Structure 1
Amino acid sequence: MRTLILWLFTVLFGLTHSYADTRPTIETTAPKRVVHIAADYNYPPYEFLDEEGQPAGYTVELTYAIAETMGLDIDLTMTDWQSAYTGLLDGTYDVLQNIAYSEERAKHIFFSSPHSIVSQSLFARKDGPHVDDISEVSGYEVIVQNASIMHEYLKQNFPETTIIPAPTHSAALRLLASGKHDFALTANSPSLYLSQEMGLSNLEPIARPVAGQRLSYGALPVNEDLMALFSEGLAILKNTGRQQEIYNKWFGTLDQSKTQWKKLGQYAFYTILALLFILGGIMIWNSMLRKEVERRSEQIKAQQEQLIQADKMASLGVLVSGVAHEINNPTGLLMLNLPILRSAWEDALPYLDEVEKEHAGLYLGGLSYQRLKAEIPYLLDEMQHSTDRIRNIVNDLKDFAREQPDEIWQEVNINQVVETAVRLVDKSLRNATEHFALHLDPRNPKIMGNPQRLEQVIINLVLNACDALENKSQALTISTSLNPDQSELLLAVEDQGCGIDQQALPRLTDPFFTTKRETGGTGLGLSVSAGIVKAHKGRLSFESSVGKGTVAIASFPILP
């Protein structure tokens, strides 16, 4: 169902922005809508105020990305959770960006599609009382964030528990660490993050975690249209990989201790200092030999670089094959077992329904049966999607070591592929430039190939061109044409952006080489694209001047 919804969003988005003219110029005339959004100032790494008092975190960055994609202006207010929640209900704020879903909340709040899932854990002092399951907390004093989903959960399911409200997660953890009360029931990732930040070494998570909570954007029914926009924006960011990049930025290194890194940094400093003295001596000795070596090394150097590159690519092919094999084995098991698990759950539903009729209020794993019945299909879908993503990443890496893609080829009208790709990146184009032009050869040239892989190449080239533009007055042009003897199709993506240094041009398609490392580039996009073009018996080349722009040209043999 979730896949169908995402597909419908993508189709509707494409139909709304289809190109009727082969040479359109996109003009932005409608004013952006201002959306007032509230967020918790103390819920890292999802949302928090950094050392300079500025909003930061996974959800904050995701919100700005959605606003950019959907053409919205946002007014983000960082406050405590209770004030944010109350402000949503009384209309002070249009949207609450990090609210957990519950059936009770859904009666008066519209939720977007979820952007993440967070588990809740029971934290205890290492020398304090311990339990094996959340169901055993009755009679204990449990600290929760005031008005949070866990506050509601304890009040509804364990009324005999003494609930101690705290304004923030950090306040709850500090209270527990100081020796007061028995447990704290808080979100797992933020609590681990805060424990490390505050040095609360006497706390640890215990018992089995409470089942994951879906975190979404929430709004009152009067702003239901906003939830549709945010759901559409999430779908676009997910399909383009931008959401995963933001997630990796904030959660990829959560388990690393800052203290350990500081110690490693000190060791590295002294090691580098010693190496610098050694390196100085080597450089002096090397300068004495350089003149003699340079006279005889020019030709040898060129040959050596070719051999090194060939050896590097051969080694990379072996490495990718081995890694792909090791990853595909557990991935294959997941893909095999998930349908069995889904089928087993569906077969068990009639029996569980009968048991639930006989025993009202049936609980499994600390959750009501009716909630599990609604949540488990969603969780299985998420697991299936994640497994498919692992498989796709492995397949991209395997393209480096593969001569030809193993997909079935067909006759492809390259103009249709370009139009499809342009529709998918329309929002990025409109955000990047006010002067976009599309010139398609009226002869509708055709080649043999795989349209999905060719579409991937075009999207990569267009997004790179958008990144290169420094302001909206600079132009971006996509064109298809034939070479003079009409033996090759030429697909060109030209931008008037910042350009590329001449020394970097020969390395643009090297695996893991990128000029955008500081903004999250991985160096895989152009490498994969070059592999796809080569597999289609074509060539990918670049022409660029710093400050004037870049032209990327993909050439393919024309279909006779």
Structure 2
Amino acid sequence: MFPEHKLPGTATDEAWIDVIQKMDEVYADLVKYQVEIEEKNRALEEAQQFMASVQRAMSDILLVTDRHGLIKQFNPALEQLSGRDAEQLSETCISDLFISDHICFRHMLSDPDKTMLQDCEVMLALPDSRTLELSLNCTPLFDERKRIEGLVIVGRPLGELKRAYRELNEAHEELKRTQQQLVHAEKMASLGRLVAGVAHELNNPISFVYGNMHALKSYSQRLLTFLEQAQSGLTQAELQSLAEQLRINRIMKDLDPLVDGTLEGAERVQSIVQDLRRFSTGQASGRQTFDLVHTLHTALQWTSKPMGDRLHLINNLPDQAQAYGHPGQIQQVLMNLIQNALDAMDGLEQAKLEVTVIDDNEDWIEVVVADNGAGIPEIGLDKVFEPFFTTKPVGQGTGLGLSISYGIVQEHQGELTVHNRPEGGAVFTLLLPRHEKVSVS
């Protein structure tokens, strides 16, 4: 036997102290690990409760299968739709639950390339041999080695989808009808302004012709009386007296001016009707070279008359300026721009409308329409050509006039822009091609 050796007291105490310190460290680590495990368990439990709440709240079915196609997890929606309880659904093969002529779930589980389904129509087998049409989405469930472990399937009854699509289509159709009504209202409003302008333009020459014809009718009765008396054998002295009484000499002097004035009024009416016909047929006729200045004059005459003396009109127009396009459509654009400017100046004691044609480019011609109204709010400058955008009070504008004009200009390969003047008012600039097949640089 070996002899017994005893450590000194101090060495024994130090060894015990080291052991106790190590035990304290291990215990502290155990407590720390225990706290972390409890926190993770609490977080896991919260996540599980959240997922369970989500699954209970889902109206769509959700289920997970294993690699053999057996149902392992599912939400309450599947129980409600299928008419089966949890015990009946567990370990049920999805091929027995979903009926489809073009989907084989076994092949999907064996071939990774076929595990993706999107909006696929299948039939859900219900008790009593009934079925329910579903739309399914399917994605693969992989393990940590990227092998297919099962399928995740989400679906909803097609009846709900069809009802949603039907409601969406009905809302879309209602929106289209409303839009058509607004477009029609805008057309009727434009037509009303056009009729008012044309009526005012026609009123002057027709009134002139009407007055001249009344005078000619009165003169014709005097001339007939004089001729009848002349044929009755009156003496020269009696005829001279009758001529003075009927003012035959004055009638003879007035005849040419009356006829000339009547012809001039009729020609003015004919010109207005031709302009109106050109405007109305502009939509159907082909594009052509036309006098933009004449079209602009017509647009001004038909829109600016109701302002009367309150409007100070400044025309910076050449005698002629050629443009290429639909004369009627361009006249509609010009009338919209001018009417928009007049509306912006409504209520002003002295409205000033300035219309300028810039004819210094062989490919393009420019029309500038400026007013002294309040201008367009900065926030609306980028939206002024959008459909239904308007700064007018409710009931006084549909917000389609400038949008329609912008579309017409785009179809003509032109440009329509707007900006505010520093001194106040808005400026619309219309750029149109002078020839066919001109591109904007």
Shorter-chain TM-score tier: 0.3 to 0.5
The two structures have a TM-score, normalised by structure 2, of: 0.35
Structure having greater relative contact order (Cα 8 Å, sep ≥ 6): 1
Between structure 1 and structure 2, the one with the greater Rg is: 2
